[in-house]
Amino acid sequence: MINIIAVRAVLEPQALAAGLLGEVLAGRNLNEVLSDLWRREPDLPPRVRGAVQDLSFGALRFFSRLDFLLQALITRPITHEGVRCLLLVSLYQLIYSKTRPYAVVDRAVESARGMDAPWAAGFVNGVLRNFLRSKEELLARAEGFEPARYSHPQWWIDRLRQDYPDAWEAILEANNSHPPMTLRVNRRQMEPEQYLALLKENELEAEMLEGGALRLKKPVGVDKLPRFAAGAVSVQDQGAQSAAHFLDLAPGQRVLDACAAPGGKAAHILETADVLLAALDKDEARLKRVAENFARLNLKGRLIAGDAAEPQSWWDGKPYDRILADVPCSASGVVRRHPDIKWLRRPSDLAQFATTQRTILAALWRLLAPGGKLLYATCSLFHEENDDIVTDFVASHPDAKRLPLSGLSGGQLLPSAAHDGFFYALLEKSI
């Protein structure tokens, strides 16, 4: 593990966040590096944890804008990655946080003193003070460079502009917003209206969205949600909650949730109807999370460790009435929850995902009973992973018919204040 910043005496959130940023830019997943930090520092106060998370997420959310500004402030490349990341985090604070500028600069200088670079403190002080003197001019300059203006890689911007000529700017703006915290009420225990009243009793403000999802005004830890441990409610995006509704479930059906981990959609299926559910995932460790979710919600389903692309290794030969093919994808529809994705993905990844998606869809189709329905799902926005896959599949499979989805033209949910970005296509197999 890369330990970029050596300042550990006071566990300064700014320095810790800079270290996390460096690890992500080196190719690691943000959730992984955060988990590693929590394990290394189990005694971090909640205030520090919250600050570290906010700073690391924020710096990644606006990374290309911050990097543009930093390049405008220096005359030669910064060869010390720790100094670079500390400056990026500090610029984020100076632009987006409520912390007083002098406090941001002072803490950054103090963090720089703990590095293995004697010149770092003076350099950091000079760069940040220069930024404060030229802030408005530099921010205006950033607006003229698309990756800085929209804080996305240029290839990402170009692809969205191609796929959504009338909506690409709104999508980019939504991607840089804070995601909502949305709840799914377990209707085996209570109705959404009842849980909404329970939230009010606990002084938690929320509103009901279409389909019965509840959106909290302010995010809270799950320990603050009434009856969470008893299985009354789960955290799940409104868009993700659409899957169970689109499947057209009925009691007694054999249902397969392929690529099921961590189990949110599988649990929702079991909450919706008395079906015989098999939850499949090739990662046995992630299947444990499905089991944990089922246990908390008092649900029962069969867990299968296996690859959706290779059903011959795990399928019992009995066809399924319903299949949810929630396939691996770029996750371009959920980048506001995972801002590191923007900087870890490459254009070539889309073609690789598309190959996997085509393979899985073809493999699962053979498992579907005549008259059965398969729901193809991704949390992607790119046509290459979505409509292109389904259109080609239907064209090459005469026994496949694409069915309309109520309230969802073209199958694409774009990120909004209510939900993340998802794609759904419901296919019916002819009898």
Cα(267)–Cα(422) distance, rounded to whole angstroms? 18
* Known catalytic residue at 379: yes
Among 85, 259, 329, 379, which one carries the catalytic annotation? Answer: 379
Q: Which are the catalytic amino acids? A: 379
